[in-house]
Each structure stands twice: as structure tokens, then as C-alpha cells.
Amino acid sequence: LPSNLFTQNYFEKFFKINKLLGQGANGIVYKVEHFINDFSLGFFALKKIPIGNSSNLKKILNEVELLCILSHSNLNLVKYNHVWLEIDSMSQFGPKIPCAFILTEYCDGGNLEELVNDFINPKLSTNEIKNIIRQKRKLKKINKNKDNLNSFPQIETRLLNYLEILKFFKDTTSGVNQLHKNHIIHRDLKPSNCLLSYKYDFKKFSQLDFNYNSNNKNKCIQFLNSLPTVFISDFGESQFEGNKRTSTGSTGTLEFVAPEFHKKYKNLNEFNKKTDIFGLGMILFFLCFGKLPYSASLFNDEEDQEYSELKSEIIKFNIINFFQSNVFKREYYRRDLPLEIYVLLESLLNYDADKRPLTEDILITID
């Protein structure tokens, strides 16, 4: 690459790393603070990607192009700020190589995968732990019977309620709708790519119980307005609709890729809006039940599962048959969710791609 493409030491001069947000085969993401003359311009997400070769650079620039197009489009897409190249290392002791730095909006609330897992396995803060210990000591002084201490209330675990599911899924669908309006296919929709605008203190709403009727309308609206906004992120695999598929592999995270891409065809399937819709359906499924409908899964532990076993299960998956199965009735079914949610899931996860709805139709259904 020509030397005039590089802005050497730009990162060191204007940014300070706050913390590591994520690391994978395609690069590293940091939370950084932007400074000019010691004056803070705020926090941003910085994606640092090794360029490697010209084809990889083309892929990186494709992501930047899409980010530029989308930057001022919608409230539910992560905003792009800046991109530059430097010669740098990807680790403390790694060799110096050409790297791309992509600066985007920082979302402080984590992602939907983390949120749902926190609901199911909530972690106590240091202050909450101290408070529980303090209260247990008080109880021990009052009553020395240890059996009574075992009944001390523990933190509640739960799934998302109907309004939380509705709000987070509508935000996610709105972001995808904006992509599709610009003829862009995301290709890697999953809960970890759905970021939250701020940390959701769900514990204070843990006892909330809405009846979802007109009598509660004002209360429901107030609650919905208290929830963080979801932003779609990570456009590294995205492409314009109609672009030809160049490999037989399934781009994206296996569990969220439409089943038609796991089969062997003489003619390769092209990614389109309906393939994104399947990913949206799996996100909704995860929001509703806290897990996916597969017995095998790479979703939470990629190292310990058999790829071929999961792939086979995805190819055979039929949402209608699943809803009628004993496994669903025993491990998934929720009485607190309205029938419309199950009907929507059936349409989004339809095995026949042509029968899956468009994002505009999904938003009308949600409204």
C-alpha cells in the first residue's frame, strides 16, 4: 500500500483506550476517549482491523462505505465517524502491520445477548452483596435459627416481559428496515450485534406485571419510554442487495443464518432481504425464551459443540413442528406472551423464504 494512505500516530495523538470491548478473528474493538489539547470530545467505539491483503482492504472499505451511507439515516443504526490507516501491531508483542481504524458511535448499555443472559443469571453488584451481608448479620442477631436465614430473599431471575420484547424487537426491526430501504443486506444479524444506548437497570422493574390492556395504556407507554434504544452494529459482512455470493460458506453466525444457506445447491443462493428476516426471527425467539430452538448450539460455546450436528439440525428445523413438540411445551412455552408473538415467529422463521414478511410488514404488525 502507498505510504501516503497512512496517517501514522493519529491514534496515539488523539485517543486514549478506556477498555477492551471485544476481540475476534477480524479485529479488536475498544472503548476510547477522543482528546484534542487535553479537551475530551467524548467516548467512541474504535474497531481496529488488520488489513492483510488488498481483498481484505476492499472488504474494510466496503464496511466504511456502508457506514457513510447509513450515518444520518436512522436512530437505530450505529453512526460512523471516521476511518484512517496506520502501521501498528494487533497485540503488545505482535509485529507492526497495516491496520484500519474505524471510529463509530459508542453505545454504553452492552448488547441484547448480554442483557437477556443477565436477566436469566443476574449478577449482584458489590453494593448489593454488601447490603445482603449486612442484612443477614442483622437477622442473625435477632434470630439465631439458621433455617430462617436460608429463606432470605435472593435476587429474582426472569425472562424479558412482553413490553421489553416489543420495544427491543421494534428498534431492531426499524434498524434493519432502514438497511433494506437502502438495498443493504446485513448478513450477520444476532443479539450481540444489537447494542443498547445505555445500561438498563432491569432489577427495579423485576416485579412489574402488566395486563396489556387499554386500562394500562399510560403506564405501558411510560414504561416503554424508560427502556434503552437498540442500535444495529457491525456491517463487516454487509453487502448491497443483488451482489453475487462468492463462496459456498455461510456468512454470519451459524444459528442465525437462514436454513437455505446450509444446503448444497448447484446454483449458490444469494443473500437477500428474506435471509435477514430469518435472522430477525431468531433474535425475537431469543428475546422471548432466552435460548435458541436447537439442542446443539455454537451460540454460547463455540469450542465445545459439533458444527455438523448443529448444521444438520438447522436444515431440518421447522418452526410450526417445533411449536407442536413436547420440547417446546415443556421448556419454552410462555403463557404471559400473546398469541400474536407466536404467529409472528412462525412467519419470520418460515422455512419457505418467499413467505417471510418484509420489515415494513413486521413494523405494521408490531404497531
Listed in sequence order, the residues at least 6 apart from 121 whose beta carbon sits closer than 8 Å to its beta carbon are: 157
CB–CB of 334/164 below 8 Å?
Answer: no
Give the separation between CA 124 and CA 98, rounded to whole angstroms: 42
Give the separation between CA 228 and CA 124, rounded to whole angstroms: 21
CB–CB of 9/86 below 8 Å?
Answer: yes
pTM for the full model?
0.85
Give the separation between CA 94 and CA 105, rounded to whole angstroms: 28
> Which DSSP symbol is given to 87?
E
**pLDDT < 50 positions in the chain:** 149, 207, 214, 248, 266-267, 303-305
Return the pLDDT at 248: 47
Give the separation between CA 278 and CA 246, rounded to whole angstroms: 21
Instruction: Read off the pLDDT of residues 41-96 as tens digits, 9 standing for 90 and up.
Output: 999 999 999 987 767 788 888 888 888 888 776 679 999 899 999 999 988 888 99
Instruction: Read off the pLDDT of residues 170-198 as tens digits, 9 standing for 90 and up.
Output: 999 999 999 999 999 999 999 999 999 99
Q: Which of 38, 118, 171, 188 is catalytic?
A: 188
Helices (H), the chain: 10-14, 54-70, 112-120, 126-142, 146-150, 162-181, 217-225, 273-289, 307-316, 319-323, 326-331, 339-348, 359-366
Using CA of residue 366, residue 335, residue 330, residue 191, what is the dihedral sign? positive
Give the separation between CA 223 and CA 108, rounded to whole angstroms: 20
* 209 membership: H or E segment, kind and range: none
- 181 known member of a binding site: no
Active site residue 367: no
- Number of other residues whose CB lies within 10 A of the CB of residue 123: 9
Return the pLDDT at 229: 95
Give the separation between CA 230 and CA 164, rounded to whole angstroms: 11
